[in-house]
Structure formats: C-alpha cells, structure tokens
C-alpha cells in the first residue's frame, strides 16, 4: 500500500453498548490494519483534533456518531458544533471526516428523530463549507460535490 509517510490517526466516535456494536468496532479495527494511532473520542472530538500533529492525516469516523452521542446526552449541539468547527479550522493536519446523509428519506415520525435529522443536515452543511473537498458516496461510487480528488 502506498504511503505518504505521514502519521495516521483514526478518531473513533462510536461507543459500544452491546455485543453487536463491540463486534462492529472489532471489524473496523481489523479492516484498517496496522499503522493507525486510534483515539477514542465519542464526545471531545474538538479536543482530539486540536492535538493532531501538523504532519499527520486523520480520519474522523464519524461525525454522525459524534452528533448522536451529544444529542442523546442532551448537550448543547450548537456549542459543541462550534467547538468542533473551530478546531477543524485551526488544525494543520489533513483531516477526512466521514458523515452520513440522513435527510434523503421520509420525515421521521418522532421529535427526537426529526431533531437529529435537522442537526445532522446542518452539521454536514457546515463541514462541507469548511472543507476544500466534499464527496457523497452512493452505492460505493463517489459523487464529487466540491473540489477535485486525486
């Protein structure tokens, strides 16, 4: 596998509350292989981003789980999002953020799900605005939304 020579960080936002999620996390760890420095950061993603060395590359997996964690903990989503966006803006490392598009389906039937859907859409818009490049991956195929990809 070609390498840039940069340190690789995996900023993991998921939390394991049951056996199924524990298995999924183990599968992710095995699939990415060796050479990654993993930081478990279900809440303080801004703090983890702020600590990244300038000569590193980080994969945030994922913004959707991070938002879910804060929403279910009844945290101030606007404040946490502002902290994250400021950290990303100030960071000198190369950062790739994985997020899910959740607004393409039907409108959810309950208030919490609608609140999540709205918050995720806003977060995705803010992340895309801050980014040099953005792509939507559908059926395993990238659709470039912003910038160019090598």
Residues marked as catalytic = 28
Strand partners, 60: 11, 97
Contacts of 30 (CB under 8 A, 6+ apart): none
Angle in degrees, 0-180, between the axes of helices 77-90 and 111-130, rounded to the nearest 10? 20
The side-by-side arrangement of strands in the sheet containing 7-12 is: 36-40, 7-12, 56-61, 94-98
Task: List the one residue out of 66, 58, 15, 61 whose CA is nearest residue 37.
Answer: 58
Distance CA(118)–CA(102), nearest Å, equals 9
């Amino acid at each position: 596998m070609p390498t840039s020579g940069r340190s690789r960080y995996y900023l993991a936002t998921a939390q394991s509350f049951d056996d199924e999620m524990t298995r999924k996390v183990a599968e992710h760890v095995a699939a990415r292989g060796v050479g990654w420095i993993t930081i478990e950061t279900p809440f303080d993603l801004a703090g983890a981003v702020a600590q990244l060395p300038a000569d590193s590359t980080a994969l945030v997996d994922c913004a959707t789980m991070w938002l879910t964690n804060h929403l279910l903990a009844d945290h101030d989503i606007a404040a946490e999002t502002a902290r994250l966006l400021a950290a990303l803006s100030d960071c000198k490392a190369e950062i790739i953020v994985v997020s899910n598009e959740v607004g393409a389906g039907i409108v959810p039937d309950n208030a919490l799900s609608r609140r999540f859907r709205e918050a995720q859409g806003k977060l995705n818009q803010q992340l895309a605005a801050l980014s040099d490049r953005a792509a939507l991956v559908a059926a395993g195929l990238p659709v470039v939304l912003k910038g160019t990809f090598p």
